[in-house]
Amino acid sequence: MKGLVFPLVALVALQILAMVWGIESDNLASPVSVLQAAWTAALDGTVLTAASHTLSTTLGGLAIGGTLGLLLGLLIGLVQPIDRLLTVSLEFLRPVPSVALIPIALLIFGLGYRMELVIVAKGCFWPILIMTRAAIRGIHPRLMEVSRMLKLGPVARIWKIFLPAALPRLFVGLRLAAGVGLTIAVTVEIATNPYGLGYAVMFAQQSFRPDLMFGMLLWIGIIGWSFNAFLLFAQNRLFGRAALVGARS
């Protein structure tokens, strides 16, 4: 409850400031008018259209980048020589920020859904790759022995032993990647792509609507927060403490 005091006091103070000195202008808006703009945007469907674009790109990119990351992560997690062979290449590619690929995606795909999808996929690829590799490494050696004892083939070994054992940490990777994906989607929209929540904020700024700008920011916060909270809830529900084991390593 104490946590609520500070934001409430700050908002009330801002509102009083706005009413006494009239700070409302082309640049600033009072908390009440921000809330009004956020409410209107929710009613007239602006939020829904923008959010569905941003979220569908995030999920699509997560699916593509996540699958690729999972496959490569399984490969380098299970086959040590490949891991060692790829070290330099991966270490060189990893520091390239996703946003630096915006112009390349722009050049190839033009503005639109696909270019955003590619960049989000690239962003989701790394956390999943790294978590998959770590999850495979973290499997108890005894399970490896069991799989050898049972003379399981490579496919059965992955399907029956590795994936179930690594699943909790894979889900942690998925959750992290989803957060990264949403952030990147909004960033791409703010930087270039004229769709979605990020663009809605930029558009409000460019049309001198600070109330709508802060209102849309509020929506980004709420949507992003619920998205994370939902994944965290799912993680706790599905895996409980199992997901916490070595999750920070």
Partner 1 sequence: MNKNTTRTGKILWLLASLAFAAALIAGWQLIANMRLISPVFLPGPDRAFDAAVTGFESGELGGKLLLTVERMIYGWVLSSILGVALGTLIGSSALARSYFGPTLEFIRPLPASAIAPIAITLFGLSNASVLVLIAFGTIWPMLLATIHGFAAIHPRLTEVGHVLKLSRLETIWKIALPNAVPDILASMRLGLTISLILTIVGEMLMGLEGIGNSILLAARSFDAPNLYAGVILIGLIGLVSNLLLDMMDRRLLRWRPSR
Q: Residues interacting with partner 1, by CB under 8 A?
A: 2-7, 27-28, 84-89, 91-93, 95-104, 106-108, 179, 182-183, 186-187, 190-192, 198, 201-202, 204-205, 210, 213-214, 217, 220-221, 224-225, 228
Q: Least Å distance between CB 67 and partner 1?
A: 21
- Say how far apart CA 23 and CA 45 lie, in whole Å: 29
How near is the Cβ of 224 to partner 1 at its closest, in Å? 6
Structure tokens, 189: 């929209």
Identity at 159, one-letter amino acid code:
W
Tokens 């005091």 locate to: 5
Which of 113, 163 has the CB closer to partner 1? 113
To partner 1, the closest distance from the beta carbon of 221 in angstroms equals 5
Q: Distances from the Cα of 190 to the Cαs of 2, 88, 102, 110, 187, in angstroms?
A: 34, 33, 11, 16, 5
Nearer to partner 1 among residue 65 and residue 198 (C-beta): 198
Residue 115 or 166 having the CB closest to partner 1: 115
Q: Which is nearer to partner 1, 25 or 45 (CB)?
A: 25
Amino acid at 20: V
Map residue 151 onto helix, strand or coil: coil
CB of 15 to partner 1, least distance (A): 17
Paired tokens of 207: 């049309």
Measured from the CB of residue 201, what is the shortest distance to partner 1 in angstroms? Answer: 5
| Rounded Cα distance, 208 and 202, in Å | 10
**Which residue, 136 or 202, has its beta carbon nearer to partner 1?**
202
Integer Cα distance of 24 and 9 in angstroms: 19
Q: Tell the smallest beta-carbon distance from residue 184 to partner 1 (Å).
A: 8
- How far apart (Å, rounded) are the C-alpha atoms in residues 111 and 129? 28
Enumerate residues 6+ apart whose C-beta is below 8 A from 88: none
Closest CB to partner 1 among residues 52, 206: 206
